[in-house]
Structure 1
Amino acid sequence: MKIQLLLITTFYLISGPVYCLDVTGFPGGHVIIDFKHKINWRSTVYFCKLKPGHQCERIIEARGTELIRDGHKGKFTLIFSDQSLTLIIRTLRVEDTGLYQVGEHSVWNQDINLKLNRDPCCSEMKSVAGSLGQNVTISCSYPEEFERNIKSFYKQNNRSLTEIISTSETDPHQDDRFSISDDVRNKVFSVNINDVREDDGGVYFCAVVKDETEIISHSLFTTIHLQTTEAAQFTTKNPDVPSDTPEPAGFSIATITIIISTTVCVCVALLLVGGFLLIFKIRRNMIQGSAAMNQRSEANNMTSDYENETPQIQNIRMQLVYQNLNTNTNQFDSVYQSLDTNTNQLDSVYQSLDGNIN
């Protein structure tokens, strides 16, 4: 009997568990795995990564709410709730791919093959603004292989991840303000939020769900930062923030609007001042040029008048008196000449005074 039990145990350890379940994640996203095994909270549960040679490197070991081992500082989380066990793997990277094992000592274990889907549709980060009291719609694209899977929408609060709504008909998380629809043809599902409130702001994730025999896996992708503002508008800002950061970084929409308005006002003021200075300079140059032209015109007029003016000859009457002394009569003979300027002729008058005649 002991020999048979030893052989069965040895065969089990060599062959491993019957099922190795595939779980798909996305770079930068998270994976949430719900195990369907009933868990005794007093028992010890472990999570390890399988290495060559059937060695399993322990990552987490816990007993109820007591964490015995955590080798990755919060990247991997085990959660006990109502005799159920949930495993969370955060911020997936290429080196996280591989075979893992989860189990309860001496009770059960389950192998998991973690793969990464690098579809470009599911590794982006979005920033969306929702106006308070209005409606906002968030769209999530997904790969074709998940077109028949359940779609869900998660919100991150600190380090916890809460499912808000899903396309499952038995979804217990339905909220009257949230609605979801799936466009299978275009591979897009949309979440609509009515009457946006301030506390709706935060980090959200799109997700697809696979329901297997032993587990239910939720693959979270496309990080969405929802900002609640007074005026709703979509932004193109892509903040470089880790996917597990609870609040988006960067300026708010109101701050960006104020900065843009201030910049526009300063530019307009500078343009107006430059325009006034230019007009003033042009007018000053025009006035100076006009004055110079007037001075040159006056100078030219004076020169022209001087050149064209016909000289006026005043009436000049010249009298020349020639006196000759007549030695016989002891008298002077006088000769008078007058120039008539009007006729340009000379009139001559000769008079002789004879002393004898008087």
Structure 2
Amino acid sequence: MMPPVVRHEGESAEIICSYDSIYKSKPKSLCKGTCSTRDRSPLSETVREENETKTGRLTLNDDITAGVFTGTITGLTAEDAGKYWCAVTLETELNYLYTHLIVIMNEELNLTKYEGDDVSIQCKHHDEDQKIFCKAHETSMCVKDGVSLETIRDDRFSFSDEASTGVFTVKITDLREEDSGIYWCGAHVTTKVHLNISKDFSVIIIISVCVILLLIAGFTLTVCKLRHKRQGETHTQLPTIPSDELLYAAVSFQKHEESLSEATVRFSEEEVYTTVIYHTGLN
């Protein structure tokens, strides 16, 4: 098996096949899916005395000096993804190697969820080959490490495969902040998934409002208690006379009962007693 070839949709892919020098004069072919002497439908096959053969978007070039023939596919689509065979035709059999062409779709999936939520991710596949669901910066890391559905061991992950629709679904429950990142899912056709896990701000807002209300209630209760205490102290105090205040009292004695007018005129002739009391404080 040769290393996988990973390319994006619309790009070109080169499938490089090496062979021994003893096969330099033998016909070479590039097959997709299956490649055998009985069941073989090569995408392209080299023609003797010609170094290059072109069939549609596929060009096959044979460099006999380097002992390498290369299949180049332009304008990659999802249908181009799959398993490819590099075959050398012998008298009665084929000598071949195989590789995987993985096409990354340009349309990416962006998902934003909150901590504690669940998420279902749908991944496309067109064959029965190993399905991939991997968290990594590059899809080649997933293929290289052989990370697949079967290798994930986490109770929060579950998988369901609907072969008839060409879709398998990955469900993650009880999402956590560390689940954020880039995921790759599919098979030979791979989709890039951006999963962003955020904190639930609605819960934070509710908690903050409750705390503020509690603080306001506590402050109001404290103020009311202080006012009630001050009013109680005021009622228990007796009236007091300010210190250093002068009190005056005047007493007039009249010897004769006369009219008011006469008494008024002769007021100065009567005896008048005045008392002045000076208070320095209340005992």
- Please confirm whether the aligned pair reaches a TM-score higher than 0.5, indicating the same fold: no
TM-score between both structures, scaled by the size of structure 1 = 0.34
The higher radius of gyration belongs to 1
TM-score between both structures, scaled by the size of structure 2 = 0.41
